[in-house]
Structure 1
């Protein structure tokens, strides 16, 4: 087999992988970096339309199309577990939400691994370096909904994020109604404290979706990108990683191999390289390089479900647009010209907020949690759940709709206590793992889902909201515990926030697979930088955490190899 040699090899071109590869290549010493991606280059700009970012995941060439194993507590359903398969990774197919989470998430991460590198102060500085934030709100009457502080945001990074320039007319109505119903307002959910109802910050700039590809598009020539190059295994000599194998070709790394293939695929590469739980490897006759029981364990994810009500058509103008193919076609031409128009307005600015629940905190299920978990959930910035308003469900399920005057609300469970796993299903490294998140397995999760959905129902019953509601289309049969839980079992989805399957921790911890320098225990020159190592499922939509994880790993590597000199 012919081989090619580089200083660093990065596997996976999602947010973390692109952050690592681009920053290494741009460092002062200019090391030779190879970035390998299993999918395509994805150069089609039409996949970056802001208003269509809710359906990009339906492009089969851009999505691995994974599903979970049948979920015992969800009526045996196999649940979509989408992952991006292109340059940009899942940032190219997600819903364009850019949220950083709670400052207490990162302080807990730092405490768990014993390293201030991961505390909020240091992580926030990296978030700011990654972004160029546009916090402008064009209409004066809307400025009361958002007031981000410049000290909490960056203005020189490659990731363009911010608010949409134009909003649908019913967004202020909903934000006002929820405030009258008792929800506190938050003028910037990316300040480190997400508690309260906010304007969602989007990974969109001037009507165009921002993806991890934006980090590498201006990279120097010492960064080599290869598409259609899935990695089957790491090449290990003795106990040292020296390269990777992809499609029968070998690529060698003189310094480090960094795996950034995500929580579902990084553990697969490790296990097929002989690194993982010895029982799993033995079952499929994979030669054992290092017994590391934590690989594949610790899977966490945010489950969600929805509530949909039809609304007074006079509160919005969606029918005039979505019932008119000619209007949609003309809007596409306008977007292609300058990124403006209806495709930068409809479905482009949502409301979202994170909340605590006194009912959850008072429940027996909460009181039975370990004291340390209760203490964490009681911290100032740590929410129990998230509400998102304005989800354009008709784009994903057009057969359901003829009238587009509706509001779809989503509720996401934060800090779930159910813990899943990923495991081998064969000895073929091209076969996906088996993904079992164990949704709703833990009693706390079931109680929290019941109480959060009941609160959502109460919000929509408040007169300020209910005055424009015509009917409930998607919702439980009643507000009873039994009916709400049954609704979750029938309708729960994954937020695709998979985390923790190659968990970072202190050496000797049974649940840890990498150390605080991202090094895989027991193997030299092999690191992991993606959501699989994050020891805390952050209270956000996790693409931002993936970016900052890659940026943090790069800081560690640049310092260790003196690449900035």
Structure 2
């Protein structure tokens, strides 16, 4: 296994714990970081700034974003990006997974099977301590698991302005939701977190008490797959060779799995030849089809009586004392501030009537019309001051963030060197598709309308960050200047049917790389449908599905 992000950790844990106890080797590029303070729930928004556990990737200049280079952070530690993400645990829509099954012609990805795997992974805590707040979420026990290694749920304590914000948004017309992990994410509700009792949950939790047939090697970036003719027999890392008795499984992620493949001679022949890499298997799909969610925010100064953030974040001693409390019990302000978001996915009345929508392929239009497929996501209380400390000086504010779902822009990752230690060039081509530009204008205009509603305005003092007007030109320029990646990179080693082998897809529905024996890929790079969620959950269930396939094929149960 290479490497140890959410998909890799699921596969390693699941295979090693199967009744036949096969020998499993998990190789991770980064170190193992077990410091408790890397898991402070209320600091989940700033952990990504720790350069020791972040690859520090950025995109190439984005043509449609005023030439900006955009942060493309990826976790560099055992646990992968679960060490630096924002802990939102969202499954996506049942129609996402049914579409995945249809695209690859394999029912193993249908929602009923995927949901069962999600339930096996989690222990869900749906408790809401204040009876007045139970209206904000109503999850059903049958939609969740109770014995998995990932402890997920709602934060036990909230900032006091969260209910005010959710109420104002529903009064402005957004529908209520009950549980975004039910298979139908439509509606405003509470975000489910990969956090438990004030402590963030990481993929490494799956490796706790692992059996001795699982070996973990860290600080060993896999640079290439070792091949005999067209059969994978091991991997190479910094001059060391690790041999496989059965299979090699790459789980290095959407940005790095294509690099390992290309430096192994598997990928677009013209790129490999340009850098004098011998071509073993011409697979044009490797590195192509990059998809990612983008977001843009509005920020407003709010009535300081609605919250107590200034008394905490402007007082270093209060924050220090809170850390001591968190160290001792996992409780206190660092398990309350910024630990619970409102979140919702929504369908738009405007987007399906846009000219840019009506010229999309009929199959895309049909998918976007399906009942559980949203056009956009809204978070009404994003903690901008922790994510970007220089952006806010008075903490009585709210940052309203909109996310474009189902973007139509397609980017790529490509070689820039024959040196496997050099990252690829990352080009998501944000806003390159006319649909994405028009949809972003519609979403931002809707956010402005919500924030002009009396229910929101009654506690709003001033505008901190917003477009100068709601003209199409100003809204689009605001997006170009301010949009951000949500770090949901997907699809660069796309899964597909065998008759698509090479050009449109790189692996089959059983995760096998076309043209190469004993080599599989299981991470977000293979996912052929941009799921409507925050994609760590999809990464986990992709690993779980691959593990299930391997256990069936090798009769490990």
TM-score, normalised with respect to structure 2: 0.99
| SS of match in other structure, 1:11 | coil
1:59 corresponds to 2:50: yes
1:550 corresponds to 2:548: no
190, 194, 198: which one aligns with 2:181: 190
Give RMSD over aligned pairs. Answer: 0.6
- Greater displacement, 122-131 / 215-224: 215-224
| SS of match in other structure, 1:441 | coil
Alignment of 1:333-482 (within 5 A): 333-482=324-473
| SS of match in other structure, 1:390 | strand
Tell me the distance in 1 between the aligned counterparts of 2:423 and 2:390. Answer: 31
| SS of match in other structure, 1:156 | coil
Tell me the distance in 2 between the aligned counterparts of 1:515 and 1:350. Answer: 37
521, 525, 532: which one aligns with 1:532: 525
- Quote the offset at 1:198 in angstroms: 1.0
Tell me the residue number matched to 1:5: none
| SS of match in other structure, 1:471 | strand
1:521 corresponds to 2:514: yes
- Quote the offset at 1:558 in angstroms: 0.3
Contact 2:347/2:374 (8 A) holds in 1:
yes
Q: Any idea what the Cα deviations from partners look like across 1:330-367, whole Å, max 9, x if unmatched?
A: 11111111111110000000101001111111110000
Tell me the distance in 2 between the aligned counterparts of 1:122 and 1:401. Answer: 44
Tell me the residue number matched to 2:9: 18
Tell me the distance in 2 between the aligned counterparts of 1:396 and 1:338. Answer: 25
Tell me the distance in 2 between the aligned counterparts of 1:365 and 1:76. Answer: 24
Alignment of 1:70-149 (within 5 A): 70-149=61-140
- Quote the offset at 1:265 in angstroms: 0.2
Tell me the residue number matched to 1:49: 40
504, 511, 521: which one aligns with 1:511: 504
164, 180, 189: which one aligns with 1:173: 164
Q: Any idea what the Cα deviations from partners look like across 1:508-533, whole Å, max 9, x if unmatched?
A: 21311000110000000000000000
Q: Any idea what the Cα deviations from partners look like across 1:413-443, whole Å, max 9, x if unmatched?
A: 0000000000000100110000100100000
268, 293, 300: which one aligns with 2:291: 300
Tell me the distance in 2 between the aligned counterparts of 1:223 and 1:533. Answer: 25
- Runs of 4 or more consecutive aligned structure 1 residues displaced over 2 Å after TM superposition: 396-402
Tell me the distance in 2 between the aligned counterparts of 1:441 and 1:399. Answer: 30
Contact 2:26/2:216 (8 A) holds in 1:
yes
Alignment of 1:220-235 (within 5 A): 220-235=211-226
Structure 1: unaligned runs, 5 residues or longer: 1-9
Tell me the distance in 2 between the aligned counterparts of 1:126 and 1:512. Answer: 25
Q: Any idea what the Cα deviations from partners look like across 1:206-230, whole Å, max 9, x if unmatched?
A: 1100010000122111111111000
| SS of match in other structure, 1:365 | helix
| SS of match in other structure, 2:378 | strand
Contact 2:384/2:391 (8 A) holds in 1:
no
Tell me the distance in 2 between the aligned counterparts of 1:215 and 1:358. Answer: 42
- Quote the offset at 1:320 in angstroms: 1.1
Tell me the distance in 1 between the aligned counterparts of 2:150 and 2:465. Answer: 36
Tell me the residue number matched to 1:331: 322
257, 261, 276: which one aligns with 1:285: 276
- Quote the offset at 1:389 in angstroms: 1.8
Tell me the distance in 1 between the aligned counterparts of 2:214 and 2:425. Answer: 33
| SS of match in other structure, 1:231 | coil
| SS of match in other structure, 1:508 | helix
Tell me the distance in 1 between the aligned counterparts of 2:232 and 2:394. Answer: 57
537, 541, 547: which one aligns with 2:534: 541
- Quote the offset at 1:396 in angstroms: 2.8
Q: Any idea what the Cα deviations from partners look like across 1:293-325, whole Å, max 9, x if unmatched?
A: 100001000011111000000011111111111
Tell me the residue number matched to 1:163: 154
Q: Any idea what the Cα deviations from partners look like across 1:248-305, whole Å, max 9, x if unmatched?
A: 0000001000000000000000000000011111111101110011000010000111
- Quote the offset at 1:398 in angstroms: 2.4
Structure 2: unaligned runs, 5 residues or longer: none
Tell me the distance in 2 between the aligned counterparts of 1:398 and 1:379. Answer: 40
Q: Any idea what the Cα deviations from partners look like across 1:127-157, whole Å, max 9, x if unmatched?
A: 0000000000000000111110000000000
180, 191, 199: which one aligns with 1:200: 191
Contact 2:437/2:476 (8 A) holds in 1:
yes
Tell me the residue number matched to 1:319: 310
- Quote the offset at 1:44 in angstroms: 1.0
